[in-house]
Amino acid sequence: AQSVTQPDIHITVSEGASLELRCNYSYGATPYLFWYVQSPGQGLQLLLKYFSGDTLVQGIKGFEAEFKRSQSSFNLRKPSVHWSDAAEYFCAVVPTDSWGKLQFGAGTQVVVTP
């Protein structure tokens, strides 16, 4: 079955430490890939996206993600987290045979400690 999986429901990281959030997908063809962030009580903001080309994608707020076709993964990274990065992060895909139907993972809650 087609799916988007974020294996980590909750991650705690110290301020200044690095962060990596995992995302795996299961689709026949490589879908369009997105990472969104949701701060408490807010809507979703796009961090970055991958359609094709360079497999390392740079986004806003110092985030980057790497597409690995062999692993069907699109992991999000940040070298040094700030307290303001505490939020929920969603990986999402648009299957290329299902235009417009953005499918979300369950989300990863990130807590940043001093």
Partner 1 sequence: NAGVTQTPKFRVLKTGQSMTLLCAQDMNHEYMYWYRQDPGMGLRLIHYSVGEGTTAKGEVPDGYNVSRLKKQNFLLGLESAAPSQTSVYFCASSIEPGQKDYEQYFGPGTRLTVT
Residues of this chain that bind partner 1 (CB under 8 A): 4, 9, 32, 34, 36, 42-46, 49, 51, 90, 92, 94, 99-107
- Give the DSSP letter of residue 79: S
- Relative to beta strand 10-14, strand 108-113 is parallel
CA separation for the pair 79, 56 (Å, rounded): 14
Q: How far is the CB of 3 from partner 1 (least distance, A)?
A: 11
Residues 6+ apart with CB under 8 A from 54: none
Q: How far is the CB of 43 from partner 1 (least distance, A)?
A: 4
Compare residues 4 and 112 and give the one whose CB is closer to partner 1.
4
Least Cα distance to 89 among 104, 102, 107 occurs for 107
Q: Is the dihedral of CA 70, 74, 75, 78 positive or negative?
A: positive
CA separation for the pair 111, 30 (Å, rounded): 31
Compare residues 15 and 32 and give the one whose CB is closer to partner 1.
32
Compare residues 66 and 88 and give the one whose CB is closer to partner 1.
88
Q: How far is the CB of 104 from partner 1 (least distance, A)?
A: 3
Compare residues 27 and 34 and give the one whose CB is closer to partner 1.
34
Q: How far is the CB of 75 from partner 1 (least distance, A)?
A: 17
